[in-house]
Structure 1
Amino acid sequence: MKNQTRDDLNILLYLDILIKRRWIIIGTVIPVFIITIIYLLNVSPIYLATATILPPANLEAPTGVSQLVQAYIGTAVPKNINTPVLYGEILASRTVNVNILNQEFWSNKVGAKIKLIDILVIGENDSTKRYELGYENLRGQIQVSLDQKTLITTLSVKSSESILASDIAKALIEQLNVFNRKGISRKAKENRIFIQERLVDTDSLLRSFEDELRQFREFNKRIENSPELQIELGRKLREVRIQEEIFITLKKEFEITRIEEIKSIPTINVLNEPVPPLKKHWPMRRKITYLVSLYATFMGVALAFIIEFLSKKYEFESFKMRFKKLYILLKNDLISILYFLKKEQLN
């Protein structure tokens, strides 16, 4: 019973200090709260557009793709690497980012379509520095994450404009498609071009042999009694037949190669297309206001206790005296509040 009474006295002691130093707490919380509100109302909002990309059906990179990727993005990559793992490096590469910076995007702030470099970098006339700053700014706005289990890639783009964030994300996805067309399918394209050139040469040679055969028959209409002419005719027929077989074989290979070239391109399958976000990603005004207010309250309470115990050695009063003092302070504050509300109603 004695310990419980002592605990009650300690609680009342703390309440007494808080009420006595209440204006210190209020004077700490209110300025911080006002400054926070002013900051949140004036800071530029950040919008986040996201897109999810499915892995291609054929994940195994073709032979030599590491060298192609290295030449395209300017970064050394390991061999036999899955394509989704490369997405982050490709999208962060200088080549891709410079291509994006040179594209035109709609800006609500400007009210027109302008190059992204002109949106991200303002007040810098040096071309080299402009693109360096633009590259760094754009890289800071792009985030790529890969789910190691599903190999689904999530692309996130931040911007101060909702539509601009979505448009940049779409442009980045298009750059992935460009890389696939120019990089990974290059070997299949080289095979197709080689067969196509051989097909043209064979067709030309076949036409030449056919012309020779036609001319031979026109000048030698009766060859029954000439063994030499019959042998020559057989030779020319054989040359035409061989070239026809080569031409037919190359024609088949050419069509197969064209199909393989299309099949070899890992299509970027977008599960969720980027759309203009409706809500701001940052600042989270309500959450920030709550956290800052809570922090300021703790700081005010700590400051109140420090000032109280530094000002004088606290004199312990009896339970009834402290309770009476606490009651009077609360009563006076309540009367002041009621008087203020009544006065406002009369006005």
Structure 2
Amino acid sequence: MINTIRILSAHKKRIVVSTFTVAVLTAALTFVIPKTYTATAKILPPQQDQGVFGMMMAQVGGLASLAGDVLGNGTSGDTCVGFLQSDTISDRIIDRFALAKVYETDTRADARRALEEHVSIQLGKKDGLVSVSVEDRSPARAAAIANAYIEELSSLTAAVSSSGASSERAFMQRRLEETRRKLQGAEEALKAFQQRNGVIKPDSQMEASIQTLAMLKAQLTDAEVKLAMARKTFRDSEPEVREAKAAVSKLQAQIDSRQNSKGGGAIPNFGGAPEVGQEYIRLMREFKTQEAVFEALTKQFEISQVSETKDFAKIQVVQKATVPDKKTGPRRASITLAAFFATFFISSLWFVMKARFQRLPGEKRDEIVELAASLRRW
């Protein structure tokens, strides 16, 4: 330590001169660097469930968290950030402001990288706001690009949501029409049976069993629809789909148990019932089942129609980017101080290492010189 101080003291003049020379030159160069300005826009991501998927999932206890995760409760901010960082929006911004020419790039990929270097997109951990900060030599262009990001995000989310809602509505409409045909067929078959054999009045236990089984099958159809919706968003290996599949399997097991039961309030054993009674129970069960399924699908179809016409994924602008009147770069003081301390450290280390090198035995110095020469050749 004492030797180091002695070495630095012996070369203090050179160290001071080199340090201040580099600092002054650096300070002068910072005045040549063009000024840059930063404009920031902030938005509040959607805070409520959007679309038919979320509205339907909200009705299911076991899958209630799924709608929130997908449509705005907790991860809508991350979704907005992902959209903002996508190539789709980047390309729109590049074309809109001719940034390939501004950044002097030859390819689309280079233009994207240059844009990424000038834009900062962050999600606030405490307030949940998404901020878009753009740095540019032109203050007006910085503000325009920041606001354009928000406009493109609103356009993209609206297009995605509308497309998804239309697909969901079409899917529900097909299921509803299919069930309508089955309900009409079941009703006509039951009427034809009653015209041939008269009206049969089942006992209260049998009627309750038929009604219960019909409700279970309606719930099964509802669960199958939700599983189909989940598979449009998640992979089969993800927990949301596994939970939906488990709900379907559980309901199917309950239905199978009731259909195979020979007592305990379930459908009676048809093998021991008169042939006419068996036929009536089968027709009545089919009619009640299709009636319950049709009612459930009608409600879901109405939800899908409302979702298709509603205002999807409303982006709330908390802070619109304004033209900045104060530069954010270059930070001359920080750059000059960094150059000052870096030069002082490097020059001090140089003189210390040089003095220690000179104190080494001749053989050691020769080995180091040869090593340095070989490294330069390599």
TM-score for both structures, normalised by structure 2: 0.47
SS at match of 2:113: helix
Rounded Cα–Cα distance in structure 2 between residues aligned with 1:151 and 1:272: 14
Q: 1:117 and 2:107 equivalent?
A: no
How far 1:183 moved relative to its partner? Answer: 1.7
Deviation string for 1:124-145 (max 9, x for gaps)?
Answer: 4xxxx3x232223223323222
Rounded Cα–Cα distance in structure 2 between residues aligned with 1:118 and 1:37: 30
**Is the 1:61–1:80 Cα contact (8 Å) retained in structure 2?**
no
From the CA coordinates, give the structure whose radius of gyration is larger: 1
How far 1:20 moved relative to its partner? Answer: 4.5
Number of aligned residue pairs: give it: 213
Counterpart in 1 of 2:82?
89
Rounded Cα–Cα distance in structure 2 between residues aligned with 1:148 and 1:18: 48
Q: 1:177 and 2:170 equivalent?
A: no
Residues 268-277 or 144-153, more deviating: 144-153
**Is the 2:91–2:112 Cα contact (8 Å) retained in structure 1?**
yes
Match of 2:40 among 46, 50, 61: 50
SS at match of 2:131: strand
Residues 86-95 or 148-157, more deviating: 148-157
Counterpart in 1 of 2:133?
156
In the TM superposition, 1:3-22 aligns within 5 A as 14=5, 20-22=10-12
Q: 1:288 and 2:322 equivalent?
A: no
Percent of counterpart pairs with the same letter? 22
Note the aligned Cα RMSD (angstroms). 4.0
Rounded Cα–Cα distance in structure 1 between residues aligned with 2:310 and 2:47: 10
Counterpart in 1 of 2:317?
270
Matched to 2:316, the amino acid is N
Mark the CA change 1:26 to 1:272 in structure 2 (over 3 Å): closer, same or farther.
Answer: same
Match of 2:123 among 136, 143, 146: 146
How far 1:293 moved relative to its partner? Answer: 0.9
Deviation string for 1:276-299 (max 9, x for gaps)?
Answer: 233333332101211221232233
**Is the 1:55–1:153 Cα contact (8 Å) retained in structure 2?**
yes
**Is the 1:47–1:160 Cα contact (8 Å) retained in structure 2?**
yes
How far 1:54 moved relative to its partner? Answer: 1.0
Structure 2: 5+ residue stretches without partners: 55-67, 174-302, 360-378
How far 1:173 moved relative to its partner? Answer: 0.3
Matched to 1:179, the amino acid is L
Structure 1: 5+ residue stretches without partners: 1-9, 65-77, 105-114, 196-255, 313-347
**Is the 1:47–1:161 Cα contact (8 Å) retained in structure 2?**
yes
Match of 1:103 among 96, 99, 103: 96
